[in-house]
Amino acid sequence: MAEKLEAVKVLYCGVCSLPAEYCEFGQDFEKCKPWLIENAPEVYPHLIPKDADGNEVDKVTEKLQGAGIASGSADGAVLSTSKEGTSTGKEEVKRLPGGKVKKKDKKEVIIEKVVRNKRKCVTIVKGLDLFGVKLNDASKKLGKKFASGASVVKGPTEKEQVDVQGDISYDIVEFITDTWPEVPESAIYFIEDGRKVPAA
């Protein structure tokens, strides 16, 4: 007679809810490390810190370091956390996958004219939202002023922009600076032949 098979018991991570063996392939492995050290040390034995003599270091210290609440960081800067969990001592840099540093968007409005079907053209206005302008209101005002269709769409970089039907580049700079005084004329640029040209 065949042996009775027993069900496999899987330990799931309390942070990312993946099986503990697959945490390293998840998005937040750094956040999972303290939980794994405490609840599943046999799965990742290399995560357990050892001092110079090869002895295991206190688990509480590692949990604090894993959570980013250390008394001193690698470069000597002291981090202090408030109740909200934000660090006040040193500003964290936003990093993209692969370790690249994410650049902050420059506060500038870019106007680009795109020709389609040889005769029709669309004027694209990007960057108004960086100055606190609501894009829905901007599209309504641009549509009324230039008597054309205007809409808010997502561009190729997944950022929202205003598309206005027709070539309105001749009057748009004056309209933007008059309607929204927080947008300076020095921050408005045109894209001409693939180059960024200041409007002023």
From the list 50, 28, 47, the residue with the least C-alpha distance to 37 is 47
Q: Which residue has the higher pLDDT, 35 or 76?
A: 35
From the list 178, 153, 176, the residue with the least C-alpha distance to 163 is 153
DSSP string, 84-143: TS-BSSSPPPPB-TTSPBPPPPP--EEEEEEEETTTEEEEEEE-GGGGT--HHHHHHHHH
Mean pLDDT of 79-106: 55
152 beta partners: 162
Instruction: Answer yes or no: are the C-beta atoms of 151 and 70 closer than 8 Å.
Output: no
In the chain, the largest separation of any two C-alpha atoms, in whole Å, equals: 89
Domains of the chain, residue spans: 9-53, 109-198
What is the pLDDT at residue 66? 57
What is the pLDDT at residue 13? 86
Residue 162 has pLDDT above 50, yes or no: yes
CATH 3.30.780.10 fits 109-198, yes or no: yes
Q: What does the alpha-carbon distance between residue 188 and residue 131 come to, in Å, rounded to a whole number?
A: 12
Mean pLDDT of 5-24: 86
Q: Is pTM, for the whole model, over 0.95? A: no
From the list 130, 140, 117, 139, the residue with the least C-alpha distance to 184 is 130
Question: How far is residue 124 CA from its own chain's centroid?
Answer: 23
Mean pLDDT of 127-145: 90
Of the pLDDT bands very low, low, confident and very high (cuts 50, 70, 90), residue 95 is low
Mean pLDDT of 44-59: 63
Mean pLDDT of 93-101: 65
